[in-house]
Amino acid sequence: MDFLFVSDHLALDFAATLSWRTTCPIDLLAEPADLAAWAVQAGLTDRPGRVSRSALDRARLLREAVYRTAVAAERGADAAVTDVRLIRECAGGPQVTVALRALGEVERHGGVNEVLATLATRAGELFGGDDRHLVRLCAGAECTRLFLDRSRAGSRRWCDKLSCGSRANATAYRRRKAAMLSSGAAPTGPYDT
Ligand SMILES: [Zn+2]
C-alpha cells in the first residue's frame, strides 16, 4: 500500500492513517505489517523488523492521542491531560538513529519502539511549540485529515489539492452548472470557484 504524506508533519500524517473518521472510518494500519510499511515510507527507519500485534495496539493508542491533541490545537482548546501524558511517556524511549553513509545517503536504524518514540517526540515538538497554531482540518466534505498551513497567506484549505481540493471544486462546478442550466446561463469553467 502507498500511504499519503501531505500533512506537512509526520505526526499528522500518522494520525490520518485512520481516515474518514466521522463517516466511514478506514484503518490503514489494519495489520502489524502495515505499520512497518508506514514507518519505512515515512522515512523513519530502513528496517522496522517484525511488528507484533501489541506494538500495533500501542501505535494506535499513540495515534489517537495525537489526533485528539491535534484537534484540540486546531480548535484552540486544551489538550486532554491523559493524551499529553501518553505522548510524553512514549517520547521517553530510545529514538531512531540516523547515520551518514555517504554524501546524500543515510541509514536509519530503529524498530517499532524507536519509531513510536520518535513520532511521539515530533508530536511533542509540534504541540508544545508555535506551529500548533498552524494545525488545520481539511475543508473536504468528509475528510478528517489535519495538516499544517504553512502558506504565507494562511489560506491552505485542503489536505491534498489533487484529491480533496479537486473533488470539492468538481462538486462545486457540477452544482453551479446545474443551477446555471436551470436558469439558462452557461457555466464559465471547471475550477473558477
Ligand atoms: Zn482532505
**How many angstroms separate the alpha carbon of residue 14 from the centre of ligand 1?**
14
Question: Are 164 and 141 in a shared domain?
Answer: no
Selection from 10, 5, 8, 17 nearest residue 144 by Cα: 17
**Distance between first and last Cα of the chain:** 33
Print the domain residue range for 184. Answer: 160-193
**How many angstroms separate the alpha carbon of residue 140 from the centre of ligand 1?**
5
Question: Are 191 and 132 in a shared domain?
Answer: no
One pLDDT digit (tens) per residue for the chain, 193 residues = 899 999 999 999 999 999 999 999 999 999 999 999 999 999 999 999 999 999 999 999 999 999 999 999 999 999 999 999 999 999 999 999 999 999 999 999 999 999 999 999 999 999 999 999 999 999 998 999 999 999 999 999 999 888 787 765 666 666 667 777 777 665 554 444 3
**How many angstroms separate the alpha carbon of residue 135 from the centre of ligand 1?**
13
Question: Are 21 and 51 in a shared domain?
Answer: yes
Phi, psi dihedral angles at 79 (to 5 degrees): -80, 150
pLDDT of residue 141: 86
pLDDT of residue 192: 41
pLDDT of residue 181: 73
Q: How far is CA 190 from the centre of its chain?
A: 29
**How many angstroms separate the alpha carbon of residue 105 from the centre of ligand 1?**
32
**How many angstroms separate the alpha carbon of residue 121 from the centre of ligand 1?**
25
E strand residue ranges, 9-152: 18-19, 26-27, 97-102, 105-109, 135-137, 146-148
**How many angstroms separate the alpha carbon of residue 117 from the centre of ligand 1?**
27
**How many angstroms separate the alpha carbon of residue 34 from the centre of ligand 1?**
21
- CATH number of the domain residue 66 falls in: 1.10.3300.10
In a domain, 120, yes or no: yes
pLDDT of residue 159: 92
pLDDT of residue 191: 46
Longest dimension (CA), the chain: 66
User: How many domains is the chain partitioned into structurally?
Assistant: 2
pLDDT of residue 173: 62
**How many angstroms separate the alpha carbon of residue 127 from the centre of ligand 1?**
21
Question: Are 124 and 187 in a shared domain?
Answer: no
